[in-house]
Amino acid sequence: MKLILTLAWRNLWRNKRRTLITISSVMFAVILAVFFFSMEQGSYERMIDTTVKYSTGYIQIQDVMYDEEPSMDYAMLFDDNIKDLLNEFEEDIAYHVPRIQSFALVATDEITRGSMVIGIEPELEDRMSELSDDMVEGEFIESGDDGVVVAEGLAGILNIGIGDTLVLLGQGFHGATASGLYPVKGIVDLRLPELNNNSIYMSLEAAQWFYDAESRLTSLIIMPENPSRTDQLAEGLNSKIDSEWYNVLTWEEMLEDLLNMMQFDMAGTWVLMIILYIVIAFGLFGTILTMLIERRREFRLLFSLGLKRSSLAAVCFFESVFITFTGAIAGILLAFPVVLYFFHNPIPLTGGMAETIIDYGFEPVMPFSMTPSIFYTQAIIVFSIAFLVGLFPVYKVFKFKIVDQKKIKN
């Protein structure tokens, strides 16, 4: 086998220019594929991470009707049964984040706007979304506070600052009137523009009083110790909880529309990459075919000296493998530092593209991903190309005729 590999490698360099051109084509294809997949995967990971961090969490427990009709009338009772369930899975749960979330009419002296009011346990919420690190003015609320924290975008729309008072009007649990005056204690910059223009945070106790929903939550967010085991934890919770009254949802179920959009977008990228690799495969095929045509006399001589067809077929097969893998390894090695740099330094977007990203509710940057699958997937694709193209010279070697019958007849 060592001799076969040595012969295959040496044969490639008989025509260095042709071999280098073929290797370069594979290399640039791999660089392009890694770059685009990393950019696309990074954007998806940033979207999911930001949405999970600021909005859904990894798992939510809700009233069984709340997902279909998100109303305060379907706020769940946070009773001892739920607390006992959390204790039962405490080894798998890092922490939980209780929330009351509903819309209310927010008014100042001159401006009125519909906004989302979110009641939170400040310490637990801050552990998940690190809101206190994003404060741009004032202070973050504490447990039992009567003040509120307003998102920076909404504060600009309402033209308010620290110390101003907001009037909140809404509908509470079972149609109760929700109203109150709340001083602005702080202003926070949320990373999701849609939330940044539409959110007010108050303490959970204040929100329960405001909505007349004592001991009730619209959702209980569960953050697992190991996010990769989210589905297993959700299944365990679902098997123990009273499914007649409660529903356990994972982030994939809550963000189904977003994930479908991502899959559709990824399918388009795969189509382009497949076309690219098909072009590369034909280029490699042309190189292998040219090498076979040039070496007919050599093959006849080798067969005359007693070389087995299987050995020669193996040499030709590994020539195809070496070309593609050399190009693939070079491409991955060159792409890695570039992807690593942009992973730590995302590309900021400007102009119309930035506005489009903001309209979808995400931060206008182009992040990159360092997920290992981005790199080894290219190796798998290249191996498949090398294997398929390498079968042709194997076939030709076994069908090769040592004696040309036409020349004998003539």
- The pLDDT value recorded for residue 358 is 65
At 116, is the pLDDT very low, low, confident or very high (cuts 50, 70, 90)?
A: very high
User: How many beta carbons lie within 10 A of that of residue 228, not counting itself?
Assistant: 7
Pick the more confident residue, 41 or 357.
41
- The pLDDT value recorded for residue 409 is 47
- Per-residue CA distances from 149 to 31, 138, 263 (Å): 46, 9, 36
Could you tell me whether strands 199-203 and 112-120 are parallel, antiparallel, or unpaired per DSSP bridges? parallel
pLDDT in tens, 30-52: 888 888 889 888 888 887 887 78
Pick the more confident residue, 79 or 349.
79
Q: If you average pLDDT over residues 98-105, what whole number do you get? A: 92
- Residues of the chain by 3-state class (helix, strand, coil), percent to 5: 60, 20, 20
Token pair, residue 241, equals 């909880």
Taking only Cα atoms into account, the Rg of the chain, rounded to an integer number of angstroms, comes to 31
- The pLDDT value recorded for residue 384 is 86
At 120, is the pLDDT very low, low, confident or very high (cuts 50, 70, 90)?
A: very high
- The pLDDT value recorded for residue 319 is 84
Distance from first CA to last CA of the chain, Å, rounded?
A: 41
What is the three-class DSSP state of 254? Answer: helix
- The pLDDT value recorded for residue 361 is 56
pLDDT in tens, 73-83: 899 988 888 88
At 410, is the pLDDT very low, low, confident or very high (cuts 50, 70, 90)?
A: very low
Pick the more confident residue, 409 or 177.
177
CB neighbour list of residue 280: distance below 8 Å, 6 or more residues apart: 25, 26, 29, 385
Pick the more confident residue, 291 or 249.
249
CB neighbour list of residue 307: distance below 8 Å, 6 or more residues apart: none
Which stretch of DSSP H or E encloses residue 100? strand 93-107
- The pLDDT value recorded for residue 138 is 92
Please provide the average confidence, as pLDDT, over all residues in the chain: 85
Q: Which of 4-18, 58-72, 314-328 has the lowest mean pLDDT?
A: 4-18
Q: Which of 88-97, 359-368, 369-378 has the lowest mean pLDDT?
A: 359-368
- The pLDDT value recorded for residue 60 is 92
pTM confidence score: 0.69
pLDDT at 375 over 80: yes
Q: If you average pLDDT over residues 317-344, what whole number do you get? A: 89
